[in-house]
Amino acid sequence: MKRYIDKLKDFNELVMFEHSIFSLPFIFIAMIVAADGWFGFTLLILGVFAALSARNFAMGLNRFADRDIDAQNPRTASRPNVDGRLDSTSIFLFTAINGFVFIAVAYLINPLAFYLSFPILFILGSYSYFKRFSSLAHVILGLSLGLAPIAGVVAVSAEITPWSVLLSFGVMFWVAGFDLLYSLQDIDFDKEKGLHSIPSKYGEEATLLLSALFHALAILFWALFVWVAGLGFFAYNAIILSMFMLGYEHYLVRKDFTKIDRAFFTVNGYLGILFFILIVMDKVLG
């Protein structure tokens, strides 16, 4: 039994399950707005399974594709995909199973969700290879998580609404912005190995400026989402709070690069949760 528990822990470490906190709130924000309130336990369960299987697929493929790179990077050399805890076959099967689960769950939700599940998986998988030939990898990662609100709306109403696209653009620029900050940790390694990242190509200061621009765009698109969706007081406060939290994130990183992990995990994790809570309050109390 202990062996199986340890193996589960290894897979959990492989995909960093706790990072699901970045996409889940925005899926449910979209579902709440689309349903104009509670969307039901069935969609809640299916939504959780769809979100987690999609993310496990993306992370599993990323770890599978990056085995050679992770093994050479001191920051990632202790990951389960390179230190012998998980072999390549296990990671590949894990990835394939989660891709199948995502498609199956999408089929159970509605026909549009099923048809969109295939291009969504393609986009999620493409991120793993982009860094080998393009600095746009940061934007592709943002797009991958930015699809979450659209998926949430499709699950509830079987359509893609204008406000969901605006919300998705906000998530895309938010994620791309904080991924730029996170990638500053690997700037020297990426230069040495010829990997295409914005920090390694344009330097630290340009990366910080571009990240700030992306986060400004995230705030703009979130504000447009709130306006187009016809939300109220609490939703606008979510935008204001997000603006201050992202400003604090940039303050932390500029002050001390060793605070990148704190900025990445703590600030962004709380941002999604608080955004979600305020949207719920807007629907309940607005």
Could you give the CA distance from residue 99 to residue 258 in angstroms, rounded to a whole number?
A: 35
Alpha helix ranges (H) inside 36-87:
41-65, 67-72
For residue 113, what are the contacts with CB-CB under 8 A and spacing of at least 6?
50, 106, 107, 151, 154, 155, 158
- Tell me the two tokens of residue 62: 């990323």
For the CA atoms of 219, 221, 226, 227, what is the dihedral angle to 10 degrees?
120
Residue with tokens 């089929």: 107
pTM: 0.91
pLDDT score of 79: 77
Domain residues for 124?
A: 2-285
pLDDT score of 103: 97
Alpha-carbon Rg for the chain, nearest whole angstrom, is 19
Walk along the chain (286 residues) in steps of 10 and give the mean pLDDT of each run: 63 64 86 93 93 90 80 75 78 92 96 96 86 81 92 95 97 93 80 78 90 97 97 96 93 75 74 94 83
Count, in order, helices (H) and strands (E) of the chain.
14, 0
CATH number of the domain where residue 126 is located: 1.10.357.140
Q: Which helix (H) or strand (E) holds 10?
A: helix 2-15
Provide the domain count of the chain: 1
